[in-house]
Amino acid sequence: MPTPRRSGDLKAEAETVRAHLAQDRPRAAATATARNDAALEVENRMLLEQNAALQRTRNCASNETQHWQPAAK
């Protein structure tokens, strides 16, 4: 199932198509760079969120192990 696309994504795609149809290589290169930069920004935000979640999990596990007592024999 395709994911919904944002308006900015669609505008960038339209600009890429217009540049291609106009055979405007510098414009096409600029739009490709802009799309790549936008994709990297999204990926970076996702990785930052994932990192924060992993840190929370690690902190919870660390807190649990600090209070852990071995079973008496």
* Structural domain spans, the chain: 8-57
Residues 6+ apart with CB under 8 A from 19: 27, 28, 30, 31
pTM: 0.62
What is the distance between the alpha carbons of residues 18 and 22, in angstroms, rounded to a whole number? 6
- 70 — phi, psi (to 5°)? -65, 150
pLDDT (tens, 9 = 90+) of the chain, 73 residues, equals: 455 567 777 888 888 899 989 999 999 999 989 889 988 999 999 999 999 999 999 999 888 888 777 777 7
